[in-house]
Chain A
Amino acid sequence: MNELAITVIGRDRPGIVADVAEVLSRLGANLTDSTMTRLGGHFAMTLICVGPAAAEVEAALAPLAAEGRLLATVRAVTPDGETALRGEPYVMAVHGADRMGIVAAMTRVLADFGGNVTDLSTRLTGALYVVVAEVDLPPGVAGELAGRLERVAAELGVEVTLRPADPDLL
């Protein structure tokens, strides 16, 4: 079984997901994990699929791309096995006036503390820039990390909060 990483991006319109998913389904490519979201007027899909060869999927998506509506890439990737997610889940939220380097500076602080970002999205709306990240932290570092994040955020002129995202197990 081939594992494929597929990205598709195009001008947002109704039916993009259906068009791409139909192509994959006809080829017997099983859509596993994916995110599909609208980014600044573009619709962006990042998909992991299991099934046919990369070339076959690329060829099948080509007609959609040929009309200039979508840009698609297909790459074979090596499954990384069942790596368990470890750590304490936190959510970091940053907001403030847009400027260069906010994501770079804040995620560097997370990385310095051994934090692993598992999900991150950014939004720019008017002058307001927003970053929300899910991050797994090694035990016991949250307090010191929060202090460092606040200092770096102050230098950037943005606000930051770090809060636990521990689920209630029912």
Chain B
Amino acid sequence: MSGEVQGPEAGRADGEYAGLGDWTPEALGVAGAVRPVVAAPHPVLSRAGETVDPTSAETVRLAADLIATMRVSPGCVGLAAPQVGVSARVFAVDVTGHPKAVTVHGTFVLCNATVVEATRWKAGREGCMSVPDLTGDVKRASRLVVEGELPGTGAPVRLVTDGFEARALQHEIDHCAGLLFLDRVAGAHAVYQRKVYL
């Protein structure tokens, strides 16, 4: 599990993958609704999400809802379907404007995403909306290649990213696999009480 490099989706040729192009949330064509965010120990957070049909109306609505929920949550840079109680491999990410971000792909949603390359592992402390009272030290790849599909068109996407966006993607892909940062903490002294910022 940890750091395992997974193969690309079966049966897809390398040349079929592209970047996000000019994808924006408006391409979904539906207004998202804000959904309640569930917290551990809710069982949905520990269950591997189902692979979805990215072109289905249900997935498109879920994608829009994830973006809407992410946008109303202060400081939230990513949200995965299990966090809104849906056991599915869909997540939204947006690290725009974050001081630690280097490469930024804006707001996007990926379905059935997998990590295909992960290198330059670095420790960092992370927190999660679904584990509101704790943070933990977790090693993540700071260079990352991810493949997935866009909601709506189902177009295959390959994203190459780094730093903070790479960390966010790995955190969300973990959620889709039923893993929390708690499953990857560096050691017995690597979980901390989350502080309330003044």
Contact = CB atoms under 8 A, between A and B. Distances in A.
B170 to A, nearest CB: 9
Interface string A81-120: 0001111110000000000000000000000000000110
B78 interface: yes
A121 B189 contact: yes
A169 B127 contact: yes
B193 to A, nearest CB: 5
Contact of A168 (B127, B195, B196, B197): B127
Nearest to A138: B198
A170 B78 contact: yes
B182 interface: no
Contacts of B197: 88
Nearest to B132: A169
Contacts of B100: 168
B126 interface: yes
B77 A167 contact: no
Contacts of A134: 192
A113 to B, nearest CB: 15
Contacts of B188: 37
Contacts of B154: none
Interface string B158-169: 000000100110
B147 interface: no
Interface string B133-165: 001000000000000000000000000000010
Interface bracket on A:
20 to 34
Secondary structure of the A contact surface, majority rule: strand
Secondary structure of the B contact surface, majority rule: mixed
Contacts of A89: 192, 195
A161 to B, nearest CB: 16
Interface string B21-63: 0000000000000000000000000000000000000000000
Contact of B171 (A85, A118, A170): A170
A135 B160 CA distance: 37
B120 interface: no
A166 interface: yes
B100 to A, nearest CB: 7
B195 A88 contact: yes
Interface in B99-155: 100, 124-129, 135
A38 to B, nearest CB: 11
B198 A139 contact: yes
Given A35-B189, A169-B76, 10 more contacts: A37-B188, A86-B198, A89-B192, A118-B192, A118-B193, A166-B125, A167-B192, A168-B125, A169-B128, A169-B129
28 contacts: A37-B189, A84-B196, A86-B195, A86-B198, A87-B195, A88-B197, A118-B193, A119-B189, A119-B192, A121-B189, A134-B192, A139-B198, A166-B125, A167-B135, A167-B192, A167-B194, A168-B124, A168-B125, A168-B164, A168-B168, A169-B126, A169-B127, A169-B128, A170-B78, A170-B126, A170-B127, A170-B167, A170-B171
